[in-house]
Amino acid sequence: MTKPKLLVARQLPKTPMKKIYDYFDVVDISQTEQTNEQMMKAAQGCHAILVGDRLDQPLIDALPESIKIASTMSVGFDHIDVAAANARGIIVCNTPSVLDNATAEIALLCMLGAARGVKYGQQQIEAGDWGQLGDSAPLGIDVIGKKIAIVGMGRIGRTFAKLCRGLSMEVHYHNRSKLSADLEHGAIYHASLAELLPHAQFLSIHAGLSAATKHMIDEKAIAVLPDGAVLINTSRGDLVVDDAVIAALKSGKLFAAGLDVFTNEPDINPEYTKLNNVFLLPHVGSATFETRDAMGNRAAENLIHYFDGKPPISVVKL
């Protein structure tokens, strides 16, 4: 039987990649510069795409009619123009649910690292300059018993809320709709972001990126946070306005921030790296062996299910 032809723009971990090579006739461009022209040329005769960094409208419009499905090894799909793909009859698949725990753990790490001034402590050790412990040394803030405000109570947000409840935090949230009681677990719902923010001693963002949510945490939003709040973002960098966050960190309006995602990463705003009251990670929310294998398997299985005549496991729906 003739294998379907797959354009691979991104390598998966070893185990799911073996599934790909066993099932498909692979055209691998993952190690090459992926200009639209090169990708269009490589896509000729292909039936599917394992998406890399982007799949934008100009590329989608130029793809051959033979391509019917695109799979990405990520939950987020803002690097794909899903509407343009769907208009061409191309199904787009992602990998939700398999990275909930890993990403929630990183959000917890960012919260604790920011609250306890980990960057300052690392700098002291690296410089061999612990100094004298005393009231004048930079101090962190307690987390246990504080209020945590969560923007976006999907699977990752709910998993993070569970961890916060383990720290006896009072959980508040804003979501597109109120959760059922069995999913809320006592969390307090706020119908708007404006209603949520005054409660946010800690603010953790778990919303998807869209036209409606881009730059949702701006100067105006930060102004209504409690003084000395801590910001955590493990979702997408463009959900916040960098200049507003940096200004608030410098002024003390924000006590600290724990960030795993950034606008224009990896070329982030250099002002972040100059601050002591930040805890910065290089977008590693899903970076565990177990989670990356699970994501790769889901990305592969979405494609294999489709060509086996079964519905893909995770289809992006706008």
Q: Express each pLDDT in 232-261 by its tens digit.
A: 999 999 999 999 999 999 999 999 999 999
93 contacts 74 by C-beta, under 8 angstroms: no
pLDDT of the residue at 127: 87
Query: Which amino acid appears at position 42 of this protein?
Result: A
Q: Does domain 100-280 have CATH number 3.40.50.720?
A: yes
d(CA 232, CA 212): 20
236 catalytic residue (yes or no): yes
**Beta-bridge partner residues of 217:** 240
Angle at alpha carbon of residue 236, lines to 165 and 315, rounded to 5°: 90
Both tokens of 258, joined, read: 């724990």
Task: Give 10-residue mean pLDDT values along the chain (318 residues).
Answer: 94 97 97 90 97 94 96 95 97 97 98 96 86 70 98 98 98 98 98 98 96 97 98 98 98 98 97 97 97 98 98 95
Q: Which two tokens stand for residue 91?
A: 């199904």
Q: Which of 88, 165, 215, 283 is catalytic?
A: 283
Per residue in 163-183, pLDDT tens?
999 999 999 999 999 999 999
Alpha-carbon gap, residue 300 to 317, rounded angstroms: 19
Euclidean distance between CA atoms 261 and 53, whole angstroms:
15
Joined together, the tokens standing for residue 133 give 């412990």
CATH architecture of 5-98+289-307: 3-Layer(aba) Sandwich (3.40)
Tokens for 104?
Answer: 């929630």
Query: Do the beta carbons of residue 248 and residue 272 sit within 8 Å?
Result: no
The number of beta carbons lying within 10 Å of the beta carbon of residue 26 is 18
**How far, CA to CA in Å, does 97 sit from each of 89, 157, 286?**
25, 11, 11
Say if CB 204 and CB 107 are below 8 A apart. Answer: yes
Instruction: Give CA–CA dist 276/99, Å, rounded.
Output: 30
Judge contact between 20 and 12, C-beta under 8 A. Answer: yes
CB of 212 closer than 8 Å to CB of 202: no
* 55: DSSP letter: B
Choosing from 206, 236, 292, 298, the catalytic residue is 236
What is the C-alpha radius of gyration for the chain, rounded to an integer number of angstroms? Answer: 22
Phi, psi torsion values for 23, nearest 5 degrees? -95, -35
The residue ranges of every structural domain in the chain are 5-98+289-307, 100-280
Distance CA 131, CA 110 (A): 25
Catalytic residue among 37, 195, 265, 290: 265
Report helix, strand and coil shares of the chain as percent, to nearest 5: 35, 15, 45
Give the model's pLDDT for residue 260: 98
Q: Which two tokens stand for residue 98?
A: 């398999």
185 in active site: no
